[in-house]
């Protein structure tokens, strides 16, 4: 019986031997023309070619201060690395069943698969079937390329064997899962999971894996999400492979086949509004492209930002951003019409830029009004004049200055500079603090000149962070905010005042990690003293009073939290500002036309001043921000070392009204300001007891004669005219 069985086996063995001989002969015939080249390749590839599994280009992910994602930066490759442990086992098994079912067994080359492919290629007269393992596919991707030749296949096999010697199976498979392209810009399994299913890789199932496996050999086939017939067939073949491997049963296979195919790109970059490019993310991107930690050249930094797989943590506060937008809608429920609101919030203690409104929808505008929009600050610039007066000239808010207008100032070689108070108000003589409350134009031009415009420039440059190239200019109009600033500059400058005069450098980026998790950069707050702490205290007190009883009273917080701030309105109501702070936060608000100067003469039935809309938006915003915050008070300035003094210019004349009698009324005399006193009750000047007034009288012989008379004696005389005392006569005490 056994002999009979042996006899039966002989034909079978003979057939197998003949077939094997034919295969060897065929392979030899195929390789023979390339033998020299192939042998050289084997020798060279075994020795010279460097192998590595370093990851390819990866997207950069950006996070807010709460750790939640706010954006993704990439150029043309969307890839996020995953660990093999993050991938569900049945998903791995499905991909391997389709792509390389002997992966855990072979040493880089599957002889059976290659033999099948070789026979098919020989019979077809060309390279029509690959038979490549996953390891060979990696070699093809990284080294040998797509050339269709036996020489390339030999090199591929040799290097695949080397790869298996130098790396573990887990390392090879993990690299493959992150490297492979799945179409529609998705590189690696995580990006593919997001693009086609809107899932994290850990949420994939066998049906998803079968779909993705069908894309590996021809990833571009579904780039339009429309070739459903071919992709559907490929998924069915992959599901069949999963069933054959025992991963799923027939019932599950049918259920997965009935599932609809992906019909659109579901990547969070397209579906999650918080990850879409916006004003803040754009500023972060620009900061990264300039960051020295990412390279010496722009090209190096660009590669890191868009392909380096960075993890970037920023200062962005999503809650503040939402509260900003809510505050604008509360105050302007009907919208802003042709105008826009820009806002910026800065942490005084660190300089962290927390949030801003940059303008209309980013996709439509892309010009950040908060950081790029330079506009005239109007009276909100007076804060810097006050700071300079205290810091550089030793003046105080309790000092007295004339706010009377209109006022005219010499401006050689140009024409005289003529100034009106707001609404052409006459103004009064009062304290500098009162000039802040009334936002007196004439008072602050005088204060700027009394301080010295170069000093105002110096202090303003320090507070706003201007260098010599972008310095303000010492023009007479400087004190009234005629030179342009951005909302972010204003928020940072006022934050310095809130921070006891220490200006913290504004920043967006807290930390940068590379793809491996190594920290490339960790922000350390940097500050520079802009003004003395005592100066900051005096200015803060003046601005706090402005919120209580001045132009900023609509910004007052009902919670009782003290705040300080200043309004600003440019000429013709084309720019309206409110800039204010508490110890917690400094916020600047601007309103105007985004592209040109347009008068806001009918905003909710009124002229668009800083005290009308911006101040109310600030109050609505900060009420939300501070809802659960502790009420904090400002520090008090030190006791003054002197009494109030009258501030005037060296050649300035001050007008006094002297009452003649009940019938004749008052007559005005112009006196040197050194010879007047102030009546704070009436807000006007009165003559010093020793001041002399010049009067013109008619003599008995009909000749007009000038004489100087103590001003207290003028009411008893009958002067014909009055004239201004010439400047050279001041030396004689007149």
Which two tokens mark 572? 């013709």
Question: Does residue 482 have a cis bond before it (omega within 30 degrees)?
Answer: no
pLDDT at 399: 96
170-193: per-residue pLDDT in tens?
Answer: 999 999 999 999 999 999 999 999
Question: Does residue 406 have a cis bond before it (omega within 30 degrees)?
Answer: yes
| Residue 540 forms part of a structural domain | no
Which residues face 186 on adjacent strands? 78
- Helix 188-197 with 169-179: angle, nearest 10 deg: 40
pLDDT at 573: 94
| Residue 115 forms part of a structural domain | yes
First to last CA, the chain: 149
| Residue 637 forms part of a structural domain | no
120 pLDDT band, cuts 50/70/90, is low
pLDDT at 190: 96
Q: Is the pLDDT of residue 478 over 60?
A: yes
Highest mean pLDDT (candidates 272-281, 357-366, 371-380, 694-703): 371-380
Which two tokens mark 433? 């603090």
pLDDT at 719: 59
Q: Is the pLDDT of residue 4 over 90?
A: no
pLDDT at 495: 98
Rounded mean pLDDT, 395-406: 95
Among candidate residues 483, 512, 531, the one where a domain is terminated:
483
Assess whether 259 and 399 both reside in one domain: no
pLDDT at 667: 86
User: Please, what's the b/e burial string for 471-496 (b: 16 or more CB within 10 A of its CB; e: otherwise)?
Assistant: ebeebbbbbbbbbebbbbbbbbbbbb
pLDDT at 158: 87
| Residue 395 forms part of a structural domain | yes
CA distances from 695 to 78, 135, 654, 711 (A): 88, 109, 16, 10
Give the pairing of strands 564-569 and 527-529.
unpaired
Give CA–CA dist 632/349, Å, rounded: 14
282 pLDDT band, cuts 50/70/90, is very high
Which two tokens mark 2? 């056994």
pLDDT at 48: 61
427-439: per-residue pLDDT in tens?
Answer: 999 999 999 999 9
Q: 3-state SS of the chain: helix, strand, coil percent to 5?
A: 45, 15, 40
What are residue 72's phi and psi, to 5 degrees? Answer: -130, 130
124-139: per-residue pLDDT in tens?
Answer: 444 334 468 999 998 8
566-596: per-residue pLDDT in tens?
Answer: 999 998 899 999 999 999 999 999 999 998 9
Cα angle, residue 322 at apex, residues 317 and 326 outer, rounded to 5°? 150
CA distances from 166 to 107, 147, 170, 340 (A): 11, 25, 12, 61
705 pLDDT band, cuts 50/70/90, is confident
pLDDT at 9: 38
| Residue 550 forms part of a structural domain | no
> Is residue 184 within 8 Å of residue 195, measured between CB atoms?
yes
pLDDT at 724: 42
pLDDT at 129: 41
Give CA–CA dist 665/673, Å, rounded: 23
Strands, sheet with 69-73, edge to edge from the N-terminal-most edge strand: 69-73, 60-63, 311-314, 509-513, 519-522
CA distances from 722 to 358, 508, 656, 668, 710 (A): 58, 64, 12, 8, 14
pLDDT at 131: 61
pLDDT at 720: 56
> Is residue 540 within 8 Å of residue 498, measured between CB atoms?
yes
> Is residue 582 within 8 Å of residue 347, measured between CB atoms?
no
147 pLDDT band, cuts 50/70/90, is low
Rounded mean pLDDT, 384-399: 97
Give CA–CA dist 734/729, Å, rounded: 6
What are residue 520's phi and psi, to 5 degrees? Answer: -90, -30
Give CA–CA dist 617/493, Å, rounded: 20
Give CA–CA dist 194/61, Å, rounded: 14
Assess whether 18 and 162 both reside in one domain: yes
Give CA–CA dist 671/692, Å, rounded: 8
447-464: per-residue pLDDT in tens?
Answer: 999 999 999 999 999 999
Rounded mean pLDDT, 137-146: 80
152-166: per-residue pLDDT in tens?
Answer: 678 888 888 988 999
Taking only Cα atoms into account, the Rg of the chain, rounded to an integer number of angstroms, comes to 40
What are residue 175's phi and psi, to 5 degrees? Answer: -60, -45
Assess whether 260 and 382 both reside in one domain: no
Assess whether 157 and 27 both reside in one domain: yes
DSSP code per residue over 202-239: GG--HHHHHHHHTTSSSGGGGTTS--HHHHHHHHHHHH
The structure tokens 């990851």 sit at: 55
Rounded mean pLDDT, 331-355: 95
Q: Is the pLDDT of residue 24 over 60?
A: no
> Is residue 448 within 8 Å of residue 385, measured between CB atoms?
yes
Give CA–CA dist 203/91, Å, rounded: 10
What residues make up the domain containing 721? 650-732
**Which residue, among 477, 448, 441, 446, has the nearest Cα to 384 in the 3D structure?**
448
Q: Could you give the percent of the chain with pLDDT greater than 90?
A: 68
pLDDT at 694: 87
Give CA–CA dist 154/33, Å, rounded: 13
102-115: per-residue pLDDT in tens?
Answer: 999 999 887 776 66
Rounded mean pLDDT, 86-107: 95
45 pLDDT band, cuts 50/70/90, is low
Contacts of 193 (CB under 8 A, 6+ apart): 199, 200, 201, 203, 204, 208
Pairwise pLDDT comparison (595 vs 384), residue with the higher score: 384
The structure tokens 């054959």 sit at: 244
Give CA–CA dist 105/334, Å, rounded: 69
**Average model confidence (pLDDT) across the chain:** 87
pLDDT at 115: 63
Mean pLDDT lowest among 9-13, 257-261, 337-341, 653-657: 9-13
| Residue 702 forms part of a structural domain | yes
pLDDT at 46: 54
Among candidate residues 483, 506, 537, the one where a domain is terminated:
483
> Is residue 552 within 8 Å of residue 580, measured between CB atoms?
yes
| Residue 244 forms part of a structural domain | yes
298 pLDDT band, cuts 50/70/90, is very high
What are residue 517's phi and psi, to 5 degrees? Answer: 95, 0
Q: Is the pLDDT of residue 378 over 90?
A: yes
Question: Where residue 201 sits, what CATH number does that domain have?
Answer: 1.10.3810.10
Give CA–CA dist 23/17, Å, rounded: 10
> Is residue 395 within 8 Å of residue 409, measured between CB atoms?
no
pLDDT at 439: 95
Question: Where residue 442 sits, what CATH number does that domain have?
Answer: 3.40.710.10
**Which residue, among 575, 384, 354, has the nearest Cα to 464 in the 3D structure?**
384
pLDDT at 545: 97
Q: Is the pLDDT of residue 471 over 60?
A: yes
pLDDT at 21: 44
Give CA–CA dist 671/654, Å, rounded: 5
> Is residue 449 within 8 Å of residue 385, measured between CB atoms?
no
Contacts of 398 (CB under 8 A, 6+ apart): 431, 432, 433, 640, 644
pLDDT at 145: 65
Q: Could you give the percent of the chain with pLDDT greater than 70?
A: 85
Among candidate residues 235, 266, 297, the one where a domain is terminated:
266
Rounded mean pLDDT, 494-515: 97
- Helix 533-549 with 487-498: angle, nearest 10 deg: 110
Q: Is the pLDDT of residue 636 over 70?
A: yes
Q: Is the pLDDT of residue 661 over 90?
A: no
The structure tokens 């998903």 sit at: 91
| Residue 128 forms part of a structural domain | yes
pLDDT at 712: 86
Contacts of 677 (CB under 8 A, 6+ apart): 646, 685, 686, 687, 688
Rounded mean pLDDT, 282-310: 95
Residue 102, Cβ neighbours under 10 Å: how many? 14
pLDDT at 481: 96
Report the number of distinct structural domains present in the chain.
3
């Amino acid at each position: 019986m056994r002999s009979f069985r042996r006899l039966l086996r002989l034909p079978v063995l003979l057939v197998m031997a003949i077939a094997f001989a034919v295969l060897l002969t065929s392979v030899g015939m195929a390789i023979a023309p390339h033998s020299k080249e192939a042998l050289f390749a084997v020798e060279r590839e075994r020795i010279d070619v460097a192998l590595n599994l370093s990851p390819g280009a990866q997207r950069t992910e950006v996070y807010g201060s709460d750790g939640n994602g706010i954006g993704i930066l990439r150029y043309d490759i969307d890839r996020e690395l995953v660990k093999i442990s993050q991938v569900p086992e049945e998903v791995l098994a499905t991909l391997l069943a389709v792509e390389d079912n002997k992966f855990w067994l072979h040493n880089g080359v599957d002889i059976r698969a290659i033999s099948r492919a070789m026979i098919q290629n020989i019979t077809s007269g060309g390279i029509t079937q690959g038979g490549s393992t996953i390891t060979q596919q990696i070699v093809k991707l990284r080294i040998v390329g797509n050339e269709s030749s036996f020489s390339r296949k030999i090199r591929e096999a040799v290097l695949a064997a080397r790869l298996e010697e130098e790396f573990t199976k887990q390392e090879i498979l993990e690299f493959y899962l992150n490297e492979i392209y799945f179409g529609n810009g998705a590189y690696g399994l995580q990006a593919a999971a997001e693009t086609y299913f809107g899932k994290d890789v850990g949420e994939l199932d066998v049906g998803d894996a079968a779909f993705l496996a069908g894309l590996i050999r021809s990833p571009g086939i579904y780039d339009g999400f429309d070739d459903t017939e071919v992709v559907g067939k490929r998924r069915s073949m992959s599901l069949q492979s999963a069933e054959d491997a025992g991963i799923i049963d027939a019932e599950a296979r049918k259920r997965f086949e009935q599932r609809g195919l992906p019909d659109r790109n579901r990547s969070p970059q397209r579906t999650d509004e918080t990850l879409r490019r916006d004003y803040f993310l754009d500023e972060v991107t620009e900061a990264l492209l300039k960051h020295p930690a990412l390279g010496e050249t722009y090209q190096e930094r660009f590669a890191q930002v868009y392909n380096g797989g960075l993890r970037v943590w920023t200062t962005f506060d999503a809650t503040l951003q939402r509260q900003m937008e809510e505050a604008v809608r509360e105050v302007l429920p009907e919208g802003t019409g042709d105008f826009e609101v820009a806002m910026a919030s800065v942490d005084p203690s660190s300089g962290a830029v927390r949030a801003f409104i940059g303008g209309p929808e980013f996709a439509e505008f892309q010009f950040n009004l908060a950081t790029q929009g330079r506009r005239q600050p109007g009276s909100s610039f007076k804060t810097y004049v006050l700071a300079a007066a205290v810091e550089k000239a030793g003046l105080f808010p309790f000092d007295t200055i004339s706010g009377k207008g209109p006022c005219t100032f010499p401006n050689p070689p140009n024409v005289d500079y003529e100034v009106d108070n707001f609404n052409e108000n006459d103004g009064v003589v009062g304290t500098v603090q009162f000039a802040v409350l009334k936002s007196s134009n004439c008072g602050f031009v005088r204060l700027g000149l009394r301080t010295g415009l170069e000093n105002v420039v110096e202090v303003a440059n320090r507070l706003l962070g201007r260098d010599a190239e972008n310095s303000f200019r010492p023009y007479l109009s400087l004190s009234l905010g005629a030179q342009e600033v951005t909302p972010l500059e204003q928020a940072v400058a006022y934050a310095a005042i809130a921070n006891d005069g220490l200006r913290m450098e504004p920043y967006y980026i807290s930390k940068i990690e590379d793809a491996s998790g190594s920290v490339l950069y960790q922000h350390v707050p940097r500050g520079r003293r802009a003004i003395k702490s005592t100066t900051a205290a005096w200015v803060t007190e003046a601005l706090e009073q402005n919120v209580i009883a001045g132009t900023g009273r609509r910004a007052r917080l009902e919670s009782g939290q003290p705040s300080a701030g200043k309004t600003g309105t440019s000429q013709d109501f084309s720019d309206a500002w409110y800039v204010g702070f508490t110890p917690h936060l400094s916020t600047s608000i601007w309103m105007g036309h985004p592209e040109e100067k347009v008068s806001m003469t009918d905003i909710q039935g009124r002229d668009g001043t800083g005290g009308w809309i911006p101040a109310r938006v600030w109050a609505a915003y900060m009420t939300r921000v501070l809802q659960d915050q502790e009420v904090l008070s400002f520090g008090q300035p030190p006791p003054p070392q002197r009494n109030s003094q009258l501030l005037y210019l060296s050649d300035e004349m001050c007008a006094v009204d002297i009452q003649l009698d009940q019938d004749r009324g008052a007559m005005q005399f112009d006196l040197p300001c050194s010879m007047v006193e102030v009546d704070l009750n009436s807000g006007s000047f009165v003559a010093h007891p020793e001041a002399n007034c010049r009067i013109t009288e008619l003599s008995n012989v009909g000749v007009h004669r000038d004489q100087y008379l103590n001003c207290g004696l003028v009411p008893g005389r009958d002067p014909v005219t009055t004239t201004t005392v010439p400047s050279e006569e001041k030396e004689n005490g007149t």
